[in-house]
Amino acid sequence: MKPAEIVKKSKWLSKHLRHAPQRIGLELGSGGWVEVETLLAAARKFGMELSRAQLEEVVAKNDKQRFAFDAAKTKIRANQGHSIEVDLELEAQIPPARLFHGTGAQNRDLLLREGLKKMRRHHVHLSSDVETARRVGARHGKPLIFAVDAARMIANGHVFYRSENGVWLTDEVAPSYLQVHETP
């Protein structure tokens, strides 16, 4: 598939595995998983041309590794970013001492005042490296990178999870744990 086709199919999958599975008759099971064959049948029924091979290509080539198959490749799920209620069954983990969050520079004052909030999602998303945070921030204009004092957060009782694609997740990050790392 061409890159544009991968993006199109990835967006369709994101919409239906993270935000609105019911729109195409899907029900996410335990861990957010859905049967691959059920997903492919729903795609056909709702006008999305998506073969098993194309699905595997989207999962493999998605720039953010948003999706994962189970070990048997009979089920698929979105790794994180859900706006619907779902328990991904992730176990708490100890993150690196410092994590990063990328956003648009226009958000600087607000975030320094209010911190990072999960908004309509289940968690705040953080990365373990600056470059990933920069790419995320660039989606929102001129990127601004915040460093997050994860070590102090852990010491103060905050919980972190790590999704299958390496994104660190937590409920919120108060302003006291944030420091501007890199400005545009």
Task: Evaluate whether residue 88 is within a structural domain.
Answer: no
Please give the model's pTM, rounded to 2 decimal places: 0.76
Q: What is the mean pLDDT of residues 102-130?
A: 92
Q: Which long-range contacts (CB under 8 A, 24 or more apart) does 114-118 make?
A: 114/175, 115/172, 115/173, 115/174, 115/175, 115/176, 115/177, 115/178, 116/146, 116/148, 116/172, 116/173, 116/178, 117/172, 118/171, 118/172
Last residue of a domain, one of 50, 78, 106: 78
pLDDT of 140: 86
* pLDDT tens sequence across 138-163: 988 999 999 999 999 999 999 999 98
pLDDT of 86: 83
Closest CA to 146 of 118, 120, 161, 125: 125
pLDDT at 111 over 60: yes
**Total domains, the chain:** 2
* pLDDT tens sequence across 18-31: 999 999 999 999 88
d(CA 173, CA 170): 8
Task: Evaluate whether residue 128 is within a structural domain.
Answer: yes
d(CA 113, CA 122): 21
Last residue of a domain, one of 46, 78, 110: 78
Which run of H or E residues covers position 138?
helix 130-138
Task: Evaluate whether residue 149 is within a structural domain.
Answer: yes
Task: Evaluate whether residue 87 is within a structural domain.
Answer: no
What residues make up the domain containing 65?
A: 3-78
pLDDT at 184 over 60: no
